[in-house]
Each structure stands twice: as structure tokens, then as C-alpha cells.
Structure 1
Amino acid sequence: MRDSDEMEIFVEIVRQGGLSAAARHLGLAPSVVSERLSRLERRLGARLLVRTTRRQTLTEAGRIYLDEAAAIMAATAEMEARVRATVSAPGGMLRVTAPVPFGRIRLAPFVAGFVRRHPDIRVHLALEDRMTDIVGEGYDIAIRAAPVVDTTLTGRRLMESRRVLVASPDYLVRHGRPDTPGDLARHACLVANMTGQCRGEWRFGRGKDVRILRVDGVLASSHSELPVHWALDGLGLTQKSLWEVEDHLRAGRLETVMEAWEPDPVTFYAIHTVSTAQSHKIALFMGELLQPGGIDRAPS
């Protein structure tokens, strides 16, 4: 028996919530599923599940193995789908959701090139700053600034984005330049917040020194691009990914401050449901998006 068979059985046990349900789903006898799980645990030398008559709980080793196994299975499914796609041209509608600034600045140019290269595929790109329900709202792929925590989803790391603290020259003339995180208490902060509150958490690092600030903003919005517009109007400082403001920095409309204290970077992930991993069009889109330079590819 292949090691991958044991891996798939373990993942299915977790997804289905138990050995018996997994056995029914896989069309195997419960005794076979139980034996293969035990064989996997013996081979790894680690307990993956703690099982009682009423429930099962993942051990720490089990959580690690589940995350890695799901990623391996998704990557394998994508690879196989891409191979099949070479002899069967993909087509149909692909629904993608992404945060507003990332989708507008980074993803939209890639999508334009993608549909030109694959004219049989149509793409609907929804730009929303809220956390969408990928399954419930019928999306094929989501771009998120957070890793996967749902076992029905699988995610691949897309890119890490450097962040900067910026303000307009006019604001800095009137209020001065902050030099340390502590100085921000005397400045107007502009916050992107999805909860309806004028506050946020800003993290800064200088070598091993890390500062976490609870920022009470003078202005906040659930629309993540508005703080940039407010900063351009001289209303305060805001934290943004470098690619969101680099045009304004080059033009002198904004300036970076506190360069010695860099905000935490943000990591973006491309996410889809495990069940759609074998879709030709999803595998093709993910494959081109994740290849080196994919997200930066100009339309062709």
C-alpha cells in the first residue's frame, strides 16, 4: 500500500469526524480504516488522534500532519489537473474574490493576461475587504491575508508584502515626524477596521525589538483604501503595503516615516476548497498565479 493511501485516509477521518463515517465515505470496512490509521501512527512513531467512544481529538502531531498532508494532496491534485489540462482545454466560469487593493493593483493585471491566454475561461473577480464565505458564496478561489484554518479549504502561500508607515508632506510640516512607536500617541492615525471601531493593532519591529500598539484612530473605515485617500488629504498617518502607496511615494504626495521601525509584513495566500482541487481551470489559474513572477506578470 502506498504511503499516500494512509495519508488520504487520515485526512478523510478528520474531515468526516470519525472512523465509521470515513469508512462509509471511502467505501471501506471500518476495520480497514482503523488498521491503516494505526499503521500510519506506527510508521510515524506518533499518536495523531485521541479517540474515545464519543469524540476524536487531534494531537499536536496530528495537527501538524493534517496541515502538511492537506497541502501535499492539494498540490498533487493541482499537478495532475494541470497535466490533464494539456490534453483537455479548460473552460467555463471562474469566480475569484480578493481584498480591494490587492485585487485592483496586483491581481487584476494578472487576470487580464490570464483570460487572453485562455479565451475559453471567463473570470468574475469580486473585490471585497470583508472575509467572504468561499463555499457558501460559491467562490472558486479566494486571496486572503491569513492562512487556512478550515480543513475543508487548502491554501498556498502567494507572497509576502512589506508594509510602511506614511503621511503627506503637509501633515508632517504641521505635526512633525514621529521617530518611535511611542510618538504615535501624539499623532492622528488612520485605520482600516472591519468591525466598525476606530481602533486597530499596529506592530513594529527593529531587529529583535517588537512593539505592539493599540491605535485609537481619528478616522477608520471598512474600505481598506480610504485611509490612503485620507493620508493624501493630510489628515494623518496610515500603515499600508508598499505596493499600495509606491506611486504616491515616487510622486512626493506621501512620505515614509519611522523607517527604523518597520511594520510587520503581511502574507497573502491563494485559497480554494479541497473538493475543487481537480478542476482544470482552477489548477491552471493557481499554477500560473503561483509560478515565479506570476502575480507580477503583465497582460499578454
Structure 2
Amino acid sequence: MNEKKLVEIRNLKKYYRLDRHTTVKAVDGVSFDILKGEIFGLVGESGSGKSTTGKALMHLFEPTDGSVCFDGMEISDKSVYRKNRSRITGEMQMIFQDAASAVNTRMTIGEIIAEPFRIRSRKAGKKALREKAAELMALTGLSSSVMDRYPSEFSGGQLQRACIARALALNPKLIIADEPIASLDVSIQAQIVNLFKKLQEECRLTCLFIAHDLAMVRYISDRIGVMHRGRLVELAPGKELFSHPVHPYTQSLIEAIPVPDPRAAKNHSHAGYQPERGGGQPVWHEVSPGHFVFAAE
């Protein structure tokens, strides 16, 4: 495995059998890499399979088929995953969309943030746990003075910061952020995105950032993968994807980004994406260095 690659996903599939005649292909043959120290953005409309991809990587869903290699381990192999489960769950953490439902409302914020550290370091005393919580809160822009407050006393943005702090408690090698800003106000979204950029610079954070907001993904991501109907249809460096989108679906998503100037918005047309019918079997093409598109031959 290339030493610069932390995650290698090859032909990942996740199918759901509804009945004898109906199978939903939520993820259908997805392949991409996540490099160490990068933020990889995964975008697409609701139902495109991006969250299922992240959860399959995290083993919250059992993949139907395909290979997932994490830091040199083939974790899609059930025996390998079971043998190394403790290590993998410590080195791979997840941040969910709804922070309020991802925390225990009967625990204080300090207890929530220090919980992973408490579980892994059973001999750690209360003083060590509070010091760890204070350290993580400072890292994510929370004041240690609110450590003894409960989740109901926090805003959505503050709770999401607490969830990010908790995810960092064990110094993970990879964080999977599943729509971490979708339920937040625009101003708070910007704060959370800036926090991810800060953590990338200061802590060499490696992150799979899943979202449907292309404007935010454009700002935060080093590389971006675009998903549609369970497939990855385009993959490129962030700036390259927005300056030279190739796949019609990617072009449609970019056209749909709201224009802040009302006068310019009047002339902003959005035709929408119409899937091509017929033609040859789609394959991956490298249209420029590092820029790939899934299209018919």
C-alpha cells in the first residue's frame, strides 16, 4: 500500500434486498483513496449513497462486496476486522449529522467529551479526565468553564463542536464526518468548516467529509468525489472540479449552487441533469492529471 494512502476503497457495494424481485443498490462499485492529512469531500444529492459509503467504511453497515483497506489492514475481511476491532474503532471515528441525538443527555459535556478516553484508559482518575476534556474543548473552541453543563444548555453549533472534540479524544487517524453542518445555521456552518481546516493544519487531520452543500465542500476539501445513484461519477482536486466539471451531473450540481447577487441570479439558469440513455458501458477516464470521470467509452 502506498505510504501516502490511509484508506483504499475498491469496488465497494452495499445492496438491500427488499423482496424476491427488488434489490436496492445503495452503493454500487465505488472506488477511491483517502490520502494521509487530506480532507476528502464526498458530495451528491440525498439518496446518492454517500452516507452509506461512510457508514460501510466505519462498519456500521456490513458491505455487500468490495475491499476496504485502512492503514494497511484489509478491514472488509471479517476475521481481520474482528481481530483488530479495538484498534480500528480507536483510530477511526465518526461525527454524525444530528449532534443532539449523538450525545447522552444525562451526561455533562465534559463527561461526553472524555468518554472515549475513559473507556480506553480505565485507570484514569477524575482529574485526568477533566484535564483531557479541557484540552479537547480548547482545541475545538469551547470554554472549559461550561464543562459541567448538560447538552440541553448548548446550541447546535456548540454540541457539534463537542462531538468533534469527542471524536478527537483518542487521536484517530481518520474522521468520517457525515453531514456535520447540514442542520446548522449558515454562520455556524462556516465556524465548523473553519474548525476542520484548523484541525487539518494543526493536527494533520485526515477526514472523509460527506455533504450535499458544494459551496462548503469546495472550501474545505483537497479532493472531491461526486456520487450519483450509488456510483462515483467524477473525482478531482477541489479547484479543478469547480473550474472544469466534466460529467453532466457534476455540472448540474454546480449550476444549482445559489447565486448571492439577486441581479446575477435572474440570469442564472439551471437546466437540471437528464441521465443519458443508451451508449456504451461507462468506464473511468482520466481527463487530466488526478481528474477522473465515469462516462461511456
TM-score normalised by length of structure 2: 0.25
TM-score normalised by length of structure 1: 0.25
- Structure of greater Rg: 1
